[in-house]
Every structure is written in C-alpha cells, then in structure tokens.
Structure 1
Amino acid sequence: MTTTEFAVTGMTCSHCERSVTAEVTQLDGVTAVDVSAATGKLVVTSAAPLDDAAVITAVDEAGYQAVRA
C-alpha cells in the first residue's frame, strides 16, 4: 500500500469533497480517498504508487487544483 498526500485549493464544502473523491476513486489502483475541505488535504491510498500527474488531473476534472504535499 502507498499513501500520498496532496494540497487541494478551491474546496469549500462537502459537495467539493464528494466531487474530488468521485474523480480520484476512478483511478486504477486507488483503494481509499480521504479529502477535507476544511484542511485542504487529499490523502490517496493505492495498491501501488500512482503517477502524481494522474491524481492532479483527476482533481482538476473535479474543478479544483492540487499539488503534491
């Protein structure tokens, strides 16, 4: 298992959290997603290391910006 943390900007509510979770969960190998609008943190757990760009693109698809923390 690999855990990676990202900082996400633009989230303000639980709807934002659900949008990010829905996009990131679709990535191959993702086993868990924990996202918090209050802290601006996204923690992704995966079976194998993920490409940071894939996670950042998924967050972008949800309408937010992310960088590896």
Structure 2
Amino acid sequence: MARKQYLVTGMSCEHCAASITEEVSRVPRVNEVDVDVTAGSVSVGGTDLDDGLLRAAIVEAGYEVAEAVAA
C-alpha cells in the first residue's frame, strides 16, 4: 500500500479531522485516512493514489495543503 502525507493548515478540532477524513475517503483507491490535528498532518494510504485528487479533497473540506511530506 502506498502512503502520502500532507501538512495542512487551519485544523483545530476533531470536527476538522472528521471533515477531512470524509472528503479524502471519497477519493478513488483510498483505503485509510489518518488525521493528526495537533501535528497538522494528514496521512493517506491506498493504491495508485492521485496527489491532485487528494489535495483537492482537502481543499474541498475547507483546509489548505501547506506541503506534501515524505511518508
């Protein structure tokens, strides 16, 4: 399983985590989403993950992707 990890700005609570998890889970081939509000990170597991779709899902949830980091 491939993993991608992003630093995300604007998250402050569990509602933020739930919103991101819901949107990112809709992206094709995503099997797992882990959101760490304290660290400001989102880790995604799946197969053949599309970086553009993952970033768009985070933005759709109302947050900004600061940068992608090595997973």
Question: Number of paired residues?
Answer: 68
1:16 aligned counterpart, secondary structure: helix
TM-fit CA distance, 1:49: 2.4
Q: In structure 2, what is the equivalent of residue 49 of structure 1?
A: 48
Provide structure 2 residue ranges, at least 5 long, that are not aligned to the other structure. Answer: none
1:36 maps to amino acid: D
1:32 maps to amino acid: E
Distance 2:50 2:31 in 1: 15
- TM-score, normalised via structure 1 length: 0.93
Aligned-pair identity (%):
38
1:57 aligned counterpart, secondary structure: helix
Q: In structure 2, what is the equivalent of residue 16 of structure 1?
A: 16
TM-fit CA distance, 1:51: 1.6
1:49 aligned counterpart, secondary structure: coil
Distance 2:55 2:42 in 1: 11
User: What stretches of structure 1 move > 3 A for 4+ residues in a row?
Assistant: none
Give the aligned CA root-mean-square deviation in angstroms. 0.8
2:48 maps to amino acid: P
2:59 aligned counterpart, secondary structure: helix
Distance 2:5 2:37 in 1: 14
- TM-score, normalised via structure 2 length: 0.91
Distance 2:48 2:7 in 1: 18
